[in-house]
Amino acid sequence: MWFFNLPTLQRRALLAAMLGWMFDSMDFLIYVLAIGRLKAYFGFGDATAGLLGTFTLISAAVGGLAFGVIADRIGRVRTLNITIVVFSLCSLGAATSQSVVQLAIWRAILGLGMGGEWASGGVLVAETLPPELRNKATSLMQSMWAIGAILAAGLAGLFLDVLPLGDNGWRWLFAVGGVPALFSLWVQHGVEEPDVWRATRQSTEPRTNPYRVLFGNGLRRRTILACTMAALLQFAYWGLFFWLPNLLATPIEKGGAGMSIVKSVGWLVPMQAGAFIGYLSFGPLADRFGRRRMFAFFLVAAALLVPIYGQMVRSPVILLALSPVLGLVGHAYWSAIAPFLSELFPTSVRASGQGLGYNSGRLLGALAPYVIGTLAAVPAVGIGMALVVTSAFYVAAAAVMFAFPDTSRMPLAQ
């Protein structure tokens, strides 16, 4: 495999971004999988559960914006390290929560690290790997979100249903989320900053406000379009995948599948296996057929499949068959975002631009858990029909991508 043929420094940089993204996924999704137990323990409903998810995504947007600028100033590796420590320790802190307010505060701070990790890790990969491997490398990095989700699902099943931990199982689940902080020790000593970033640090040009550059005459149009596309995409994704575990666990009489945590994990693992295949396959497919075409293909496929999946909750066999397909088409397109955004901006503001483009989208995406949760609470709608709203956002995001030229495999702007 090409990964093992990379020079040591390139391989370490890619591995650091991969594992950081995997742990990011795990720490975020353990909350999603524990929603049912948290609702029972603290006594809140679907709207509040969605609102907590919204708080995390809003803070992730803020974290992505802030750490993007920080990564341009102090380095991609140092910033990646800081963000991993932040989201890991906040997961550990969430395990001590004695009220919904405390839980919301810990999850909000966790979101800061979550948003910053992607902004720094994605740029690290784009700047370290050669252009001809950019699509494949970012696909491999993005695939670790699925591995983190599978890990979170396995841990949720273990701590919430298998081990005799009673009402405090969710606390142990969150506590395990603190373990990735140890990974930062290796990142600190084993990964080096990209040469292209080091070169900009040696420049004698005065530093300017990165947002003044991003919204200047040369970059304004692409910056606004990137933010728009990311907003549409984030709303569709988080509106759908934040609530899917709840769809499976919701009682049948309320429009769900009525599964236990263990049974729902049996459906979520195939879905994340499909996501893993989708993430990995996007890079080679983009190299073969064009990145914009494959991006649009997967988004439209997801838009068509969501209504079908949402109405199949009473047909376990069909649901199981559709889960890996939905996982594939509902995740593959994310492998396009990191290299796409990296190619839009010059080195001096690349992390700031990537953080802005991706995480400003989270501001709209942050509304999705609350909006879908509120719609799901309406008896005439239910969770299955509420998820159909996301299809329109998928189609709109696909259309916006064609406002950009295809810069795949081209050298990064200096």
CB atoms inside a 10 Å sphere around CB 148 = 24
Q: How far is CA 263 from the centre of its chain?
A: 24
Task: Choose the CATH number for 2-192+209-401 among 2.40.37.10, 3.40.50.150, 3.40.50.720, 1.20.1250.20.
Answer: 1.20.1250.20
Give pLDDT, residue 399: 93
Higher pLDDT, 140 or 197: 140
CB atoms inside a 10 Å sphere around CB 360 = 21
pTM of the model: 0.79
Residue 247 has pLDDT above 90, yes or no: no
| Structure tokens given for 143 | 């695939």
Q: How far is CA 168 from the centre of its chain?
A: 27
Higher pLDDT, 372 or 187: 187
Per-residue pLDDT reduced to its tens digit, 132-184: 888 889 889 989 988 998 899 889 888 988 888 888 899 999 999 999 999 88
The DSSP annotation for 304-347 comes to HHHHHHHT-TT-HHHHHHHHHHHHHHTTGGGGGHHHHHHHHS-G
Per-residue pLDDT reduced to its tens digit, 249-289: 655 555 555 555 555 566 677 888 898 999 999 988 988 89
The residue-averaged pLDDT of 187-212 equals: 77
The residue-averaged pLDDT of 317-333 equals: 85
Higher pLDDT, 248 or 95: 95
Per-residue pLDDT reduced to its tens digit, 4-59: 889 999 999 999 999 999 999 998 888 888 888 898 899 888 778 878 887 887 88
Give pLDDT, residue 251: 57
- How is the chain split into domains, by residue range? 2-192+209-401
Nearest in space to 24 (alpha carbons), one of 100, 101, 122: 122
What's the chain's average pLDDT? Answer: 84
